[in-house]
């Protein structure tokens, strides 16, 4: 540890500025991601950076970690103006980043990942495995970040992977820690233990900058909050002086409703439209991803599928949507057995699927809105008079859908990739709803959307349910499933560990189930 | 007849003799691919190395070892320059790696730059004035079995063993090797950890090219030994297959190279013993073997499990917006 860092680590007062960013502006083409943002964080504090998706949080911190360079503005660390021209420069200046999508090499061990790119510590060409593993073990004990240094990353749980990220930052003696939505992949309990770790790091004299759009986390862990909206900084406030409602108003720019339950109440006697029995399926890596999945969905019901990312929800969505094969088991739609992995057959049985990956599997980004609308039903009337597509009809039909679903775009010929996230999702939902589905499988339908679009999408789903469509809603957002679902199934390691009633489910019980406790 | 003229020993020895250029080329390609760069231009680089090495052996004067040393270095350097072009295309300009590699083979290969240079240097049909000789290490060349197998090779064979050992050590035991592999597995991670992805890819693509060049020199100064247009006869492609056969590990790639060499020379060995099997069939054997092996190891996503670098063939772009 160099003398300078000891000074700072022992200072421990809240008044020493650690990070100062003045008038930061960053453009990507025509989009202004940051517009004259000012941001200040002190030594020893946990400082939350709050804002909606697209508000410019990640862009701002990426300039602190040397990934982007600002077009205008100045960055000072510990009152010294600096140009952080690369990740290496930022690391050297004491900034450590824990990315939302972990930056880890899956085939390397924990120790190898921790020391990757580390130069100061180990002179000479040889990689001293034993010494490095010892050092990593020491660090993980000191900060109670339990993880086996000799294990490969792919063998670890998501929570453990995050600890490796934290160890990477700690071994580099970073004095400024930036965490980008660190709880997105954690259960509520894992998140709580992360908060304890973050607090102890701040108490050691580090500065923790914590990016989030979840209000309860911000109020739970931070000392101060800076709110960003549309690329500008709106306010910096002491967390003690505000509550979730006032923060939400700052974040969105208007008053928002909380915990409003929008779910429908399914009629107890309605017929099951979808039954899955004992379904086993493989993941992309040929290892089992789903084990003995059994569930049933009634007409007009919204069934939530909750869980920490990577526990089989994506694969379940693909199976129910008809695009993934299964190894054993049965899927019936309205009493008719389905051929799994045959999307056309599923579509014929009136199963609609809205994937999480909207631009990869949902829509063709370079094609026009009209062409994308036609993608599901182009084979037959009214879309086609085989072998020809009815272009003129398609155009007016698309126009009508765009006004009905409130898609904002210049016209039906606009390529999908030019639309905003919310409008993209609306096109996708419009296409799937128009096939008049009996079963609708939707995965993370509101991820990445702004508050207005989220309300829009949710009310579309509720409308569909009221018309009698059975909806499977896969989401990692516990608030969302609790607000919308009649029942919630929780997945852990490819199994459904339990199904609870949507109205009475509380976060703690769900969190324990997401961690595998039954 | 001594035990050293046993058929198995003879096949093994000639397998090593003919397999050695493949050892250089495939180990070089292992290094390149471990950094995430697929260089399909091995054939072209070998031919450039062969032409440049041949030129050097004619135009440099001095003692035999000195000339051969220089020729090897010059052959390696020529091939490394071709590899540099590939690195520029795929790392800096982010051209599709398969297209760039194929273009490189056409550009430098049998009917391309190597032939053109060799023609204008008048290399053809001139036997190389300096050639590699077989050594008798410790004078043990006549020791039973281990004599011909271990102690009676040309210096290039011994050099290839050093290269294989050094490469294994480099890839799996050094920090530079760790960095190299991280760039091939997850360039975004490497970048976030402050490594220079482009530089690491450039350097290792050129190292791989240089080794392919050494493999080419082995043809023009040892096997043939003179310049013939397209003299590597598709061995560059075999080297690419051996990388997969060897699961991206230098030692296994060497074993594959010797197997191929043994099959390739089987016809000559059998002919010398008056065993009559259609020579066409024997000539086709090594290629058949390659196809069979590739089918086996490429089956059902084996690539992933077998250690193909995860980012192989993918350009690295930091600003993903």
- Bridging pattern class, strands A95-98 and A176-180: parallel
Query: Quick one: A451 and A508 in the same domain?
Result: yes
Q: Do B173 and A127 touch (CB under 8 A)?
A: yes
**8 Å CB contact of A126 and B190:** no
Give the whole-angstrom CA distance, residue B250 versus residue B33. 12
Domain boundary residue, one of A120, A155, A172: A172
Q: Verify whether the Cβ–Cβ distance B182 to A105 is below 8 Å.
A: yes
CA distance B147 to B153: 10
Is residue A189 included in any domain, yes or no? Answer: no
B278 exposed, middle or buried (CB, 10 Å; 0-12, 13-18, 19+)? exposed
Q: Is residue A479 part of a domain?
A: yes
> Is residue A77, in this structure, part of any structural domain at all?
yes
A495-504 long-range CB contacts below 8 Å, 24 or more apart? A495/A290, A495/A291, A495/A292, A495/A293, A495/A312, A496/A293, A496/A294, A496/A295, A499/A295, A502/A263, A502/A302, A502/A304, A503/A261, A503/A263
CATH (domain of A218): 3.40.50.300
Contact by Cβ (8 Å): A36, A23: yes
Q: Which residues, 6+ apart, have CB-to-CB distance to A259 below 8 Å? A: A479, A483
d(CA B311, CA B37): 8
Does one domain contain both A337 and A381? no
Q: For residue A197, is it within any domain? A: no
Q: Minimal Cα distance from B184: which residue of A?
A: A105
What is the structure's pLDDT at A515? Answer: 82
Residues of A in contact with B177 (CB under 8 A): 127
* CB within 8 Å: B189 and A86: no
C-beta of residue A406 within 8 angstroms of C-beta of residue A456? yes
- The per-residue pLDDT for A263 is 55
User: How many residue contacts between A and B have a Cβ separation below 8 Å?
Assistant: 75
Residues A110 and A86 occupy one common structural domain = no
Query: Is residue A137 a part of any domain in this protein?
Result: yes
Burial of B319 (0-12, 13-18, 19+ CB in 10 A): exposed
| DSSP annotation string for B294-317 | HHHHHGGGHHHHHT--TTTT----
Instruction: Please say if the pLDDT value at position B319 is more than 70.
Output: no
Q: How many CB atoms lie within 10 A of CB A330?
A: 14
- Name the β-bridge partners of A22: A74
Secondary structure letter of residue A102 according to DSSP: -
What is the least distance, in Å, from the CA of B182 to any CA of chain A?
A: 6
Closest residue to B178, CB basis, from A87, A92, A112: A112
State the Cα–Cα distance between residues B99 and A41, nearest whole angstrom: 49
Q: Which of A117, A128, A164 best tests the B interface by mutation, with the highest count of B CBs <10 A?
A: A117
Give the strand pairing for A72-77 and A17-28: antiparallel
pLDDT of amino acid A3 = 39
Give the minimum alpha-carbon distance from B249 to chain A in angstroms, rounded to a whole number: 15
3-state secondary structure of B39: coil
Tell whether the model's pLDDT for residue B256 goes beyond 80.
yes
Residues A81, A121, single domain; the answer is no
User: Cα–Cα distance between B42 and B101 in angstroms, integer?
Assistant: 8
Q: Select the residue of B181, B188, B193 nearest A117 (Cβ to Cβ).
A: B193
Sheet holding A272-282, edge to edge: A288-298, A272-282, A328-333, A336-337
Q: Is residue A428 part of a domain?
A: yes
Residue A364 sits at the vertex; the CA angle it makes with A434 and A378, to the nearest 5 degrees, is 45
**Stretch (H or E) spanning A225:** strand A224-229
Residue A378 is part of which domain span?
Answer: 359-435
Whether A49 and A116 map to the same domain: the answer is no
Q: Using alpha carbons only, how large is chain B's radius of gyration in Å?
A: 20
What's the gap in Å between the CA of B310 and the closest CA on chain A?
A: 9
Residue A126 to residue B173, Cβ atoms within 8 A: yes
- Residue A202 included in any domain: no
Q: What pLDDT band is residue B48 in, cutting at 50, 70 and 90?
A: very high
Measured between CA atoms, how close is B233 to chain A, in angstroms? 36
Q: How far is CA B51 from CA B42, B205, B213, in A?
A: 14, 20, 9
Cα A182 to chain centroid distance, Å, stands at 10
pTM across the whole model = 0.78
Binary contact (A116, B173; C-beta < 8 A): no
Residue A124 and residue A244 in one domain? no
Question: Do A9 and A83 sit in the same domain of this protein?
Answer: yes
With CB atoms and an 8 Å threshold, state whether B176 touches A125.
yes
| Residue A191, in any domain of the structure | no
Q: Of A393, A408, A435, at which residue does a domain stop? A: A435
pLDDT of residue A42: 92
Q: What is the distance in angstroms between the Cα of B89 and the nearest Cα belonging to chain A?
A: 23
- Chain B residues interacting with chain A (CB cutoff of 8 angstroms): 173-179, 181-182, 185-186, 188-195, 300-301, 304, 307, 310, 318-319, 321
Domains of chain B with CATH codes: 3-306 (1.10.3470)
Cα gap A451→A462, rounded to integer Å:
17
Mutate to test the interface with B, among A103, A104, A105 (most CBs of B within 10 A): A105
- The answer on A370 and A227 residing in a single domain is no
A482 & A431 share domain: no
Q: Are residues A447 and A503 in the same domain?
A: yes
Contact in structure between B270 and B142 (CB atoms under 8 Å): no
Domain check: are A267 and A368 in the same one?
Answer: no
Q: Give the ipTM.
A: 0.82
CA A397, A398, A404, A409 dihedral sign is negative
Contacts of A127 in chain B (CB under 8 A): 173-175, 177-178
Report the candidate in A107, A160, A168 with the shortest Cα–Cα distance to residue A135: A168
Residues of chain A short of pLDDT 50, as ranges, are 1-14, 258-259
Residue-wise burial string across A425-443, b where 16 or more C-beta atoms lie within 10 A, e elsewhere: bbbbbbbbbbeebbbbbbb
Look at B182 and A108 and tell me if their CB atoms are within 8 Å.
yes
Q: Which residues on chain B are in Cβ contact (under 8 Å) with A86?
A: 194
Please state which of the ranges B49-53, B129-133, B208-212 shows the lowest mean pLDDT: B129-133
What's the pLDDT at A420?
77
What are the residue ranges of helices labelled H in B89-233? 97-108, 113-120, 146, 155-173, 175-185, 187-192, 197-218
Of A99, A125, A285, Cβ closest to residue B304: A285
Asked whether the beta carbons of residue A108 and residue B179 sit closer than 8 angstroms, the reply is no
Residue B87 distance to chain A (closest CA, Å) = 22
Q: Which residues of B touch A167 (CB under 8 A)?
A: none
Domain boundary residue among A172, A192, A222? A172
Same structural domain for residues A314 and A409?
A: no
pLDDT in tens, B271-283: 888 877 887 887 7
Q: Contact A126/B321, CB-based, under 8 Å? A: no
Question: How many domains is chain A built from?
Answer: 4
- pLDDT, residue A1, reads 37
pLDDT per position as a tens digit, B11-43: 899 999 999 999 999 999 999 999 999 999 999
CB B41 within 8 A of CB B106: no
Could you tell me which residues come within 8 angstroms of residue B120 by beta carbon, excluding any fewer than 6 positions away? none
Predicted confidence band of residue B305 (pLDDT cuts 50, 70, 90): low
pLDDT at B131 over 70: yes
For A461-473, how does the pLDDT look when each residue is reduced to its tens digit (9 = 90+)?
888 888 889 999 9
- A87 vs B contacts (CB less than 8 Å): 191-194
């Amino acid at each position: 540890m160099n003398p300078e860092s000891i000074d700072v680590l022992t200072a421990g007062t809240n008044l020493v500025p650690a990070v100062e960013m003045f008038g930061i502006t960053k453009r990507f083409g025509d989009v202004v991601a940051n517009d004259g943002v000012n941001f200040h964080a002190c030594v020893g504090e946990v400082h939350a950076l709050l804002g909606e998706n697209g508000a410019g949080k990640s862009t701002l911190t990426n300039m602190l970690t040397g990934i982007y360079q600002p077009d205008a503005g100045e960055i000072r660390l510990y009152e010294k103006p600096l140009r952080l021209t690369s990740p290496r420069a930022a690391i050297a200046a004491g900034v450590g980043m824990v990315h939302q999508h972990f930056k880890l090499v899956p085939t390397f061990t924990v120790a190898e990942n921790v020391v990757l790119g580390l130069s100061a510590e180990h002179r000479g060409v040889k990689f001293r495995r034993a010494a490095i593993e010892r050092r990593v073990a020491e660090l993980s004990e000191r900060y109670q970040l339990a993880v086996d240094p000799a294990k490969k990353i792919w063998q670890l749980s998501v929570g453990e992977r995050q600890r490796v990220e934290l160890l990477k930052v700690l071994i580099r003696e970073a004095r400024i820690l930036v965490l980008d939505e660190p709880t997105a992949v954690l259960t509520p309990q894992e998140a709580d233990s992360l908060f304890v770790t973050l607090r102890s790091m701040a108490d050691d004299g580090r500065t923790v900058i914590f990016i989030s759009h979840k209000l309860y986390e911000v109020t739970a862990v931070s000392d101060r909050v800076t709110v960003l909206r549309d690329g500008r900084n709106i306010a910096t406030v002491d967390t003690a002086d505000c509550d979730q409602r006032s923060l939400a108003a700052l974040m969105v720019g208007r008053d928002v409703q909380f915990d409003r339950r929008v779910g429908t109440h399914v009629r107890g006697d309605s017929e099951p439209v979808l039954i899955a029995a004992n379904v086993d399926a493989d993941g992309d890596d040929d290892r089992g991803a789903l084990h003995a999945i059994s569930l049933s969905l009634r007409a007009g019901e919204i069934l939530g599928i909750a869980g920490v990312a990577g526990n089989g929800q994506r694969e379940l969505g693909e199976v129910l949507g008809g695009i993934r094969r299964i190894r054993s088991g049965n899927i019936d739609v309205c009493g008719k057995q389905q051929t799994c992995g045959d999307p056309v057959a599923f579509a014929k049985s009136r199963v609609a699927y809205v994937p999480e990956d909207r631009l990869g599997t949902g829509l063709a980004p370079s094609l026009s809105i009209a062409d994308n609308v036609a993608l599901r039903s182009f084979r037959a009337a009214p879309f086609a008079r085989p072998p020809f597509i009815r272009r003129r009809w398609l155009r007016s039909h698309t126009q009508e859908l765009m006004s009905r679903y409130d898609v904002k775009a210049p016209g039906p010929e606009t390529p999908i990739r030019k639309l905003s996230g919310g409008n993209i999702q609306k096109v996708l939902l419009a296409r799937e709803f128009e096939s008049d589905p009996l079963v609708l499988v939707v995965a993370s339908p509101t991820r990445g959307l702004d508050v207005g679009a989220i309300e829009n999408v949710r009310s579309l789903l509720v409308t569909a349910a009221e018309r009698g469509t059975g909806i499977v809603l896969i989401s990692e957002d516990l608030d969302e499933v609790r607000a919308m679902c009649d029942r919630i199934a929780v997945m852990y390691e490819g199994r459904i560990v339990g199904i609870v009633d949507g109205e009475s489910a509380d976060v703690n019980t769900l969190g324990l189930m997401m961690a595998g406790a039954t | 007849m001594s035990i050293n003229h046993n058929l198995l020993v003879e096949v093994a020895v000639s397998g090593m003799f003919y397999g050695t250029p493949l050892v250089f080329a495939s180990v070089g390609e292992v290094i390149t691919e471990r950094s995430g760069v697929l260089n399909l231009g091995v054939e072209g680089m070998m031919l450039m190395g062969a032409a440049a090495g041949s030129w050097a052996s004619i135009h440099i004067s001095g003692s035999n070892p000195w000339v051969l040393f220089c020729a090897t270095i010059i052959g390696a350097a020529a091939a490394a320059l071709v590899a540099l072009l590939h690195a520029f295309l795929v790392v800096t300009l982010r051209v599709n790696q398969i297209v760039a590699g194929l273009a490189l083979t056409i550009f430098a290969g049998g009917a391309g730059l190597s032939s053109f240079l060799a023609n204008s240097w008048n290399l053809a049909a001139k036997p190389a004035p300096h050639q590699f000789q077989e050594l008798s290490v410790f004078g043990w060349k006549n020791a039973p079995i281990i004599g011909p197998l271990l102690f009676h090779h040309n210096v290039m064979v011994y050099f290839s063993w050093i290269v294989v050992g050094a490469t294994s050590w480099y890839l799996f035991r050094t920090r530079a090797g760790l960095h190299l592999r991280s760039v091939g597995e997850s360039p975004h991670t490497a970048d976030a950890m402050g490594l220079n992805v482009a530089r690491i890819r450039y350097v290792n693509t050129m190292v791989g090219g240089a080794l392919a060049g050494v493999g080419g020199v082995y043809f023009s100064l040892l096997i043939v030994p003179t310049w013939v247009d397209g003299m590597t006869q598709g061995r560059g492609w075999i080297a690419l297959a051996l990388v997969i056969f060897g699961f991206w590990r230098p030692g296994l790639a060497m074993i594959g190279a010797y197997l191929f060499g043994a099959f390739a020379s089987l016809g000559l060995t059998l002919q010398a013993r008056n065993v009559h099997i259609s020579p066409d069939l024997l000539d086709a054997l090594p290629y058949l073997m390659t196809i069979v092996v590739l089918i086996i190891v490429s089956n059902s996503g084996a690539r992933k499990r077998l250690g193909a670098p995860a980012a192989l063939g993918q350009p690295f772009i930091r600003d993903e917006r």
